[in-house]
Amino acid sequence: MEVGFLGLGIMGKAMSINLLRRGFKVTVWNRTLSKCDELVEHGASIGETPAAVVKKCKYTIAMLSDPSAAQSVVFDKDGVLEQISTGKGYIDMSTVDAETSLKISEAIKAKGGDFLEAPVSGSKKPAEDGQLVILAAGDKALYEEILPAFDVLGKKSFYLGEVGNGAKMKLVVNMIMGSMMNAFSEGLTLAERSGLDPGTLLDVLDLGAISNGMFKLKGPTMLKNNYSPAFPLKHQQKDMRLALALGDENAVPMPVAAAANEAFKKARSLGLGDLDFSAVHETLKALDHST
């Protein structure tokens, strides 16, 4: 199967390498074109523009940072829209809001193409291991056709119905995750400042009902102040912002998420946006110092 892949960031690189390893023919494009070179070593071809990739491939997958990037790649000059046509499918796996997804879907369909949104749950390591959870919505026939690729990228794919449902599900998941990360950070800081060993706190947490993969994975690195990015903090804050907007639309009070968003914003203002989202820990430690 031949696919195009737009966006070779942390996630897109790992995902396209997986597809290549499992025998897919992959044509890649990235805004910073030099990032394509590593993929060529794994057997990929390069498309000079998003339009060139779509022209060559029946299916094109995108994994881009945010709503503005997702729209730019579709609507700008040399973008996806210039070459999408009947018989071609566009699958956007970026985390965006439902409105962005709908806007892209309508434009693709107006040109005769098929569209699927398919944001993912899981981070760098699950992307490398093909263990993502895929939250797809849109054209059901395209979903069925692209399943062989989803089976390589993920451990489970959900088909959630109409466009927008995948985006919303992803935002709800990441809103919960961002709030949890803040509570976890506060707990680690509180343990340390009150004279406890935070390493022991990790052991205690791991044995109880609130044990989870995120605490297990991030706890040890946070205690070492290691924030090498798996999920960049700027993207987590984008997801909190979009989830809060979804809350506004639906009149859902979200005081916990709103507070977590403030902490992520503070972290961005301190220049921590490109570090892992667990670097919000530094913000909370700093807040603690200031009191």
Ligand X SMILES: NC(=O)c1ccc[n+]([C@@H]2O[C@H](COP(=O)([O-])OP(=O)(O)OC[C@H]3O[C@@H](n4cnc5c(N)ncnc54)[C@H](OP(=O)(O)O)[C@@H]3O)[C@@H](O)[C@H]2O)c1
- Residue range at the interface with ligand X (CB under 6 A); choices 104-112, 143-151, 185-193, 224-232: 224-232
By rule CB under 6 A, what string of x and - marks binding of each residue 245-274 to ligand X? ------------------------------
Interacting positions 19-48 with ligand X (CB under 6 A): 30-32, 35
Question: Given candidates 3, 5, 9, 98, which one binds ligand X under the rule CB under 6 A?
Answer: 9
Least Cα distance to 80 among 117, 44, 29 occurs for: 29
Rounded Cα distance, 68 and 74, in Å: 10
| Concatenated DSSP letters of 93-132 | -S---HHHHHHHHHHHHHTT-EEEE--EE--HHHHHHT-E
Is there binding between residue 232 and ligand X (CB under 6 A)? yes
- Residue range at the interface with ligand X (CB under 6 A); choices 10-18, 37-45, 156-164, 253-261: 10-18
Least Cα distance to 165 among 206, 136, 127, 123 occurs for: 136
Is there binding between residue 130 and ligand X (CB under 6 A)? no
CB of 160 to ligand X, least distance (A): 16
Cα 91-118-142 angle, rounded to 5 deg: 50
Sign of torsion, CA 122 8 235 274?
positive
Coil vs helix vs strand at 197: coil
CB of 142 to ligand X, least distance (A): 20
Residues 6+ apart with CB under 8 A from 32: none
Quick one: tokens of 187? Answer: 């707990």
Q: How many residues bind ligand X (CB under 6 A)?
A: 27
For ligand X, the closer of residues 68 and 200 by Cβ is 68
What is the DSSP-derived secondary structure letter of residue 232?
B
Task: State which residue has the least CB distance to ligand X.
Answer: 9
For ligand X, the closer of residues 62 and 254 by Cβ is 62
Is there binding between residue 235 and ligand X (CB under 6 A)? yes
Interacting positions 44-83 with ligand X (CB under 6 A): 63-66, 68-69, 72-73
Least Cα distance to 223 among 290, 282, 182 occurs for: 282
Is there binding between residue 142 and ligand X (CB under 6 A)? no
- Residue range at the interface with ligand X (CB under 6 A); choices 203-211, 212-220, 229-237, 281-289: 229-237
> Would you call 170 a catalytic residue per the annotation?
yes
For ligand X, the closer of residues 96 and 201 by Cβ is 96
SS percent in the chain: helix, strand, coil, step 5: 60, 15, 30
Active-site residue, from 13, 170, 218, 234: 170
Rounded Cα distance, 97 and 228, in Å: 26
Contact yes or no for 78/50 (Cβ under 8 A): yes
CB of 236 to ligand X, least distance (A): 8
Is there binding between residue 243 and ligand X (CB under 6 A)? no
Contact yes or no for 110/75 (Cβ under 8 A): no
CB of 212 to ligand X, least distance (A): 16
Q: Between β-strands 114-117 and 132-138, what pairing exists: parallel, antiparallel or unpaired? A: antiparallel
Residues in contact with ligand X by the rule CB under 6 A:
7-12, 30-32, 35, 63-66, 68-69, 72-73, 94-95, 120, 123-124, 230-232, 235
Active site residues per annotation: 170
